[in-house]
Structures are given as C-alpha cells and as structure tokens.
C-alpha cells in the first residue's frame, strides 16, 4: 500500500494481443501504486501516446522470449528491465516499480 501523498506510477501498456493487454491492464489497475494511463496496440501507437503524455518513460519489456540476445538488445535500446509473460502479477508489479526507480 502506498502512502497517500505519493503519486502512483503511470503505466502505458502496449501489446498486439488485445485480450492480453486487457488482462494486463486489469492486473495493474488492481494495485493502487500504479495508474494505467493508456493501452496501445503496438509499439508505434505506444510512441505516439508517450509523446502526448510528455514525461520520459522508464521502459519495462514484457515478452514471451527469454533468449539472451533479446534481453541484451532490449537493454541496449534503453529498457530499464525485462520480464517474461509467464511472470506472476506480484512479480510484474515489483518489476515495474523497480524499473521506475532506476
């Protein structure tokens, strides 16, 4: 539970699978430390929404791949963290919060 004076971490969900994105949004909405500010259908739409939101984001890659080269590429491109889609909700929320603190 966050202190009442702390602002929630703003999250933009981007996934090309609508049902997964909606499920992810529901999981994140359940935690009062987070605020889902948008859902994008792909990376291009995410970039557009991020530009409209203004603040530079911390990027957490959530993907099905755990291949070392994918993790390395994500980090080289600026991701603050990397988790696979089989991550449980509690671990995902903590990963988001950790990515923002970096």
Higher-pLDDT residue of 72, 2: 72
Q: CB atoms < 10 A from the CB of 88, how many?
A: 8
Residues 15-24 have a mean pLDDT of: 94
* pLDDT, tens digit, 9 for 90 and up, residues 21-73: 999 999 999 999 999 999 999 989 999 999 998 888 899 999 999 899 999 99
C-alpha dist (Å) from residue 51 to 39, 46, 48, 56: 14, 9, 5, 8
Rounded Cα–Cα distance for residues 42 and 70 (Å): 18
Q: Which domains does the chain have, with CATH numbers?
A: 1-57 (3.40.50.2300), 58-102 (no CATH)
> pLDDT at position 4, please?
53
Backbone angles phi, psi at 40, to 5 degrees: -115, 150
């Amino acid at each position: 539970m966050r202190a009442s004076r702390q602002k929630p971490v703003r999250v933009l969900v981007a996934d090309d699978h609508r049902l997964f994105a909606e499920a992810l949004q529901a999981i994140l909405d359940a935690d009062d430390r987070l605020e889902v500010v948008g859902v994008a259908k792909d990376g291009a739409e995410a970039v557009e929404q991020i530009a409209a939101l203004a603040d530079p984001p911390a990027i957490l890659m959530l993907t099905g791949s755990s291949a070392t080269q994918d993790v390395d590429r994500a980090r080289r491109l600026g991701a603050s963290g990397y988790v696979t889609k089989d991550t449980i909700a509690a671990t995902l929320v903590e990963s988001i919060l950790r990515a923002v603190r970096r």
